[in-house]
Each structure stands twice: as C-alpha cells, then as structure tokens.
Structure 1
Amino acid sequence: MNILITTIFEYPHEGGLSTHVTTLMKGLQERGHQVDVLSFTDMNPVTRKLFTQAPGYLINKVKKGKGQLLNDRQKMKMLKSYIEKVKGKYDLINSQDIYAALASIESGIPTVATVHGYFSYEAISRGAVIQGSPEELEIIETEKKAYQQATSVIAVDQRIKEYIKRQADVEAYSIKNFINVHEFKVDRSKAEQIKTEFEIPKDVQVLFVPRRLTEKNGVIYPTLALPKVLEKHPNTLLVYAGTGEQYTNIEQTAYKLGIQDKVRLLGSVPHEKMKELYSIADIVLVPSIHSHGVEEATSISALEAMGSGAPVIAGAVGGLKEIFEHEKDGLLVEEKNTEDLSQSIIRILDDGSLGETLSKNARKKVEEHYSHIAAAEKYETIYKEALSLKQHNL
C-alpha cells in the first residue's frame, strides 16, 4: 500500500504528534508499505511566510484568535494544492489534524483521520484562542466536519474517542499511542558521558521532565515541588527538555523560590538526544493536569519513559490513568498537588528497590502492549477497511 501522512504542522517538530508519525511510519514500512509525509515543512518557505505566518501574526495583534484561524486555513489551502500534485501516487491518506484531514478529503483519496487531542480546547489552553469566541466556535465546526467527512477516524485514547462521538456523532476507532520498543531500550552505560555533554554534574540525582512547556502538561508543578525534595535530597537537579509558553514562568518561579541553580531548562532537544537524557534520569516526571477541558492522551513521553528503564511519576488524569497501574509500574499523583508530587519523588529517591520494580514492570508493559509493530498492524487493518468502504461507495 502507498500511504501519505499529512499535517499542517511542521515535521519533524517538538511534541508527541511528530514522534507518533515517525514511529508509525517505521512500523508500516517494516510491514512492507511505502509511506511518505507531507507537512508544512515541505511547503515553499517564501510562500509559507508571506501567506500563512505573517498575515495571521499581524491580525492576531488586533483580534486574538482570528490570526490563528487565518494561518490554519491558509496552511490547509497550501497543503491541498500540494496533495493535488502528488495524489496519483497514493492509495490512502492518514491525516494528523483537522485541517490536514479536510485538505486530504478533498483530494478524493480515502482519508483516515488520526485525532491526537481536542483541537479547540487545546487552542484555548495554549492561549491561541479565546474561550466562547466566534473563533472557538469555528474550530469546533471544523472539527465536526473533518470527523464526519473522513472515511474512518482513529482516536489515540478512549476519552478522545468519546469526545469525537459527542462532537460529531462519529464512531471512531481507538488505538493508543506507541513507541519503537527496540530503539527505545536506553543504554545507561554512557550516563557519565551524556551528563558531560549536557553540562550536568556527574553526582546529581536527575528529575527529568520531557515535555513541551505548555499549561496542560503541568510543567510548573515539579518546580513548585522541588524545595521540599531538596530538604531531604539536596543533591537533586530538575531538568526540563522542551519549549513553550511556560518557559518564563518556570524560570521566574525557580528564582522566586531561590532554587534557580537546581533547575535546568535545556530548551528544544532533538528526539534522538531525548533518549540519551532518559538514560541519566533517576525519575521521569509527567505531571499533566486538566486545562480548559484538555486532558493528556496516551502520552508518548510517558511510554518512552516506561521503555527507558526509569521510574515514572505521572498526573492521575486522562490517558495516563489508562497507561499506569499505580504502585505497580508507576506512581500516579493528584493533579496540581505539589505535596503529593514531592512526597512521591522522595519516596523513590529513598527506596531504590521501589524504583527498580516500577521500572522493570513498566518496561514489560510497554513491550507487551505498546509496540509500534502491533500498532502498525491495527492501522493497516483500518486502512484496508477504509479502501473497501471507498470502493463500495463508488
């Protein structure tokens, strides 16, 4: 099968969607399919800036959210024009966002839409759109149209599947996120070398937050929980790898608490290097929260942490509650509860055997339930059904 994966976002980029695409592509290729990606990155750079970035940026200064919509619509038009040029090469398209779904559907090629989250809620959560505004209502209508017109829809967790049913009365498939379990078995023998590369002291205990620095990821809470951890484990360093609107908030909070030398913000880190950072983590933190209706899906960061051999502490929200069995393969903490978070961190740092047990069980679960090959097989089945549906309707 010749498959085209489409998105209006850049690829590769920082975040779970990009990782999902790379890992799915690898699994499909290993199953013998030809897979290409068409993203915003593939568009002409001059046209991108003139028609899909600059106008929206200026309009957004006058009316928040309106520029965001303009940019997304322009990206959709550009993507549609590129698909038209290459559509003869492909049997099926797997879109990764609502605007890519609509651009792909208009090509006439069977389109399977993968839904990674709540598009309208997430726009509000990151401050791009105002809640209750005409712009939010338009995004909701765009979501509905994309879900209803796609040949098939796949949600990355059960809650998103239920959201699609509520929004558009469409029955989606549910395939949880996944990782390449072979590539993500981290080699911890090079920990000292990796610490040197990232200028991290060799003798510190590392708390690692591998997240985009956005509100729904709860990234401020590890910083707020750190002072209590430092009282008992002063040789602890909190390391963030990611960018986002919460960067400045974390930085300012660390200074306010007087722990700026115990918090390290690495900024954007390539995915290959992220694997190395997992290998020096004593604990990985995935402290997600509810934010403007947004819940964490089956977090790829959490799955990667589980596969890496580091114990994980996660917020008890959304898909994270589906991934982890509390006390067996991870610790779940109440969202926004810094006391719960700090005590859970201290508990693992105090008891090395607990961390080892959690890590071992987590790795086993990832191998058995979250393999990219098993996920690719499920996607392949849905692709074949989508092709049959299209042929039946001709």
Structure 2
Amino acid sequence: MNSDLLIGLIAEGKHLGGKYVYYRNLTGALAERQAPFVEIRHRPVPRFSPQRVASYVLGRLAGDRRARMVDFELNAKARELNRLRTRPTVFHTQHPFASVTIARSALRDTPIVQTVHSFWLIECQALGLAADDELLRKYRAIQDEALERTDLFITLNRLQSRRLAEYGVEPGRIVQIPNAVDPDALLAASRPFHHEPGYVVVASRLSPEKGTEVAIEAIAAIPPQERPHLLILGEGPAGKALVDLALYLKLEDHVRFLGVRDHDETIGIMRGAELVLCPSVPYHGIEDSAPLTILEAMAVGTPVAASRVGGIPEYVEDGVTGYLFEPGDGSALATIIREHRQRDGERRRQMAEDCRAAMARCFEHWTDEILDAYRSVLPAARRTSAADALPSCRPSL
C-alpha cells in the first residue's frame, strides 16, 4: 500500500446502530489490506470548563443558548484536531458534525470523505424540533456547511444519491458504494441460540420508521396452527406500544420481546431463523437506507422479507435472496411467511446459498472501492503516486 496515503478515521463510539457496525467493518477491512489509518477519538469536554461556562452564559443572554453550545462543542473538537501529531492525507467521517469539525480546524485543507447513512436533519424534524427552533436552525447551518466543505460523499444507494443532488451536491462529489459485510467473519463470530425451530426475527431499534407493528399484525393474520414464533430484538420509543399491540392481538404465546442482545448473539439468532423481517415504513420523511440487519441476515444464509422502501429494494432480489412487499401491508407479509415455510427444503437451501453468495460478491470489492474513493480526493501529486496501488472508482449517478 502506498505510503502517501494516511486515512484519518473519526472514531465511532460503540453502540448498537449501523454506523458503529460500518465503522468496525471498515477498520477491519483496512487493517486486513494493510492500509495505513489512524483512529481519532475526541475526549469529552469538561462539564464546567471556563469556555463551556462562558458559552452557556453568553447564550443565555443572547437567547440562543443551545445553538452556542453546539458551536462550542464543534470548536473544542476542532482545537483537538489542531494538536494531532500526525496529519492524515484524507479524513473519513460518518456525520456532518465531524466534517464541520475538520473544516473548522487547522487541517481544513485536508480532503474529507463522508459516508451518508441517513439524513440526520430530517430525523431531527421527525423527532419534533419546530421549524423556528434555534437548535434546528443551527443544525441546518451545520448541514449546509458540511455539504459545502465535504470533498466526496459515499452513498449506500440511489435514494441517497438523488437526495444529495437535490441538496445541490454536484454528481462529481458523489460516489455510490453499496454497503457490505464479511460473511466469513459473521459466521465465525455468531453464537449459537437455543430455541425451538421455526421462528422469524425482527432485529432493529423499536422506533416508528422500523414498522415492527406490521410484523406483529402479520403474525396475527396467520392461522394459529401455522404461526411461527416472532422474536423481536431491540429497544426504543415504540417498545411499550408494540408490547401492548401483541397483548391486544392475543399473541403473547407467539411474540417474544428479547430486548437488546450483543452483536454476535444477534447474528446467531438471525442465523437460526427461517426469515428475518424488515417491515420498515416511511415516517415523516425518514426512509431506511440500507439496514445492516438485511445484509447480515443474508450473509449467514437467512433470507429476508422486507418492504419496498428507501434503499432496501437495491439489496434484496425478490424470490432469490428474499421477498419484497409494500410498506405497511401486514397481509402481504403474512402470505410471504406462510409460503416460505411451505417451500420444500431444497428450494430453501438454494435461497440460503444465494444469500451467502450475493453478500460474498458484494464484500469482495468493497474495500477496493472505499480505498479508491480516498485516492480520488487526494491532491494531484499524491493521487498519481497512489494510482498503482488502488483500482478506479465506479461512477455514481
């Protein structure tokens, strides 16, 4: 690997979301390829530092306390970057905040590559921030700054690419690299899960856009003698309402809420399932981009039943690696579950093989494409010297 490339990764704190899994996959893939990178972990700013207190007081006086505190956090992290001993040749971020932090630091001339996982401003509005809210105005300004200062956006699907174009990002600053997972690593890490056979799984945050209620309604629509157990993994704001729905539909013997399980156990649960369900629905402008649950399920040989929303149809081949249905259609999902369970063993084994093969093909070139994205934003001299080490990026829009 060419020594002119040093990747600065803004570290992702450990959590159950897709950004952390993407980050973990990325660091593992770069290490395997011996691509030089440094992980940049910001330290928490002391709660009662003089600068924080001053920002708070000034914000109270000016009536924009929350907005000033956001700027304070960004600028504090920018000062941390100024003290880096080794200067990366390219930064990789996963959030507009991180891109703006770099743009405000002494390293502002270093190229920035950002992977787009979701459109966070839309999510903020869906959570109820008013259009005239001071914090939302600040967030919008940060997003605009990130859109302007980021050199290249990696999107996971065509939906994200189109939305960035609508925000005014030129096609030359967008490259679409579908998400990917390593099937061998997942199979090796998965932990056995002991449960009677014949169950289906939902594994996601329990929030409105995930549509978990559609899965519960689908189980209710299946005749009792044919019902599989539905295992629901995760937690979130919709959790209580989902438990109440299962009780209302008298499904307490068929729906189990398992709460949050660690990643390796979750993989084991999905590996033993007949189907993994992803019944996402549009919610106040939020559309699932590319849930890693889908990719991980297929990587361990479990077909998925997923709704036609966001970027999901780009990852699931209907009838080959899974099934697609219209968002919110619990009756269609019930039919899919019943028909899949009635398929003969050979057809189901073939679907499992097709799932694993599709994910293996996807992962095979993923690291090369990520590395080429870095190369494409390097200054001309470095880009020329690195050209032999990295293949060319495929076009986006």
TM-score band (shorter)? 0.7 to 0.9
- Report SS of the residue matched to 2:289: coil
TM-score by length of 1: 0.83
* Cα distance change on mapping 1:292 and 1:101 into 2, 3 Å: same
How do 1:197-216 and structure 2 match up within 5 A?
202-216=195-209
Letter of the 1:295 counterpart: E
How do 1:280-291 and structure 2 match up within 5 A?
280-291=272-283
CA contact (8 A) 1:186 1:309 kept: no
Instruction: Give the whole-Å Cα distance in 1 for the aligned partners of 2:123 and 2:16.
Output: 16
How do 1:199-348 and structure 2 match up within 5 A?
202-229=195-222, 231-234=224-227, 236-348=228-340
How do 1:4-19 and structure 2 match up within 5 A?
4-6=8-10, 11-19=13-21
* Cα distance change on mapping 1:389 and 1:184 into 2, 3 Å: same
CA deviation vs aligned residue, 1:158-207 (integer Å, no higher than 9, x gap)? 1111111111333211111110122123699x74xx22xxxxxx324221
Displacement of 1:352: 4.1
TM-score by length of 2: 0.82
Letter of the 2:77 counterpart: L
- Report SS of the residue matched to 2:378: helix
CA contact (8 A) 1:288 1:314 kept: yes
Larger Rg: 2
CA contact (8 A) 2:177 2:369 kept: yes
CA contact (8 A) 1:187 1:279 kept: no
- Report SS of the residue matched to 1:265: strand
CA contact (8 A) 2:214 2:330 kept: yes
CA contact (8 A) 2:45 2:76 kept: no
CA contact (8 A) 1:95 1:104 kept: no
* Cα distance change on mapping 1:45 and 1:282 into 2, 3 Å: farther
- Structure 2 portions without partners, runs of 5+: 384-397
* Cα distance change on mapping 1:206 and 1:82 into 2, 3 Å: farther
- Report SS of the residue matched to 1:212: coil
Displacement of 1:285: 0.6
Moved over 6 A (4+): 48-52
Partner of 2:129: 129
Displacement of 1:75: 4.4
* Cα distance change on mapping 1:286 and 1:103 into 2, 3 Å: same
Q: Matched residue pairs, number?
A: 366
* Cα distance change on mapping 1:329 and 1:204 into 2, 3 Å: closer
Displacement of 1:278: 1.6
Instruction: Give the whole-Å Cα distance in 2 for the aligned partners of 1:266 and 1:71.
Output: 38
CA contact (8 A) 1:151 1:389 kept: no
Partner of 2:374: 383
- Structure 1 window deviating more from structure 2 (161-170 vs 301-310): it is 161-170
CA deviation vs aligned residue, 1:83-123 (integer Å, no higher than 9, x gap)? 22226342221010011111122332221111111111122
- Report SS of the residue matched to 1:88: coil
Displacement of 1:341: 0.9
- Report SS of the residue matched to 1:336: coil
- Report SS of the residue matched to 1:292: coil
Among all aligned residue pairs of Structure 1 and Structure 2, give the percentage whose two residues are the same amino acid: 18
Partner of 2:387: none
- Structure 1 window deviating more from structure 2 (336-345 vs 375-384): it is 375-384
CA contact (8 A) 1:306 1:363 kept: yes
CA RMSD of aligned residues (A): 3.1
- Report SS of the residue matched to 1:213: coil
Instruction: Give the whole-Å Cα distance in 1 for the aligned partners of 2:311 and 2:118.
Output: 11
Partner of 1:181: 183
Displacement of 1:224: 1.8
Displacement of 1:282: 1.5
* Cα distance change on mapping 1:167 and 1:298 into 2, 3 Å: same
CA deviation vs aligned residue, 1:240-296 (integer Å, no higher than 9, x gap)? 222221212211211221213422222222222222112221210111111112222
Letter of the 1:116 counterpart: H
CA deviation vs aligned residue, 1:318-347 (integer Å, no higher than 9, x gap)? 211111121122100110011011111111
CA deviation vs aligned residue, 1:66-89 (integer Å, no higher than 9, x gap)? 96x677555433432332222634
Letter of the 1:173 counterpart: V
Displacement of 1:230: 5.2
- Structure 1 portions without partners, runs of 5+: 196-201
* Cα distance change on mapping 1:276 and 1:103 into 2, 3 Å: same
CA contact (8 A) 1:72 1:99 kept: no
- Report SS of the residue matched to 2:184: coil
Instruction: Give the whole-Å Cα distance in 2 for the aligned partners of 1:214 and 1:220.
Output: 10
Instruction: Give the whole-Å Cα distance in 2 for the aligned partners of 1:113 and 1:128.
Output: 26
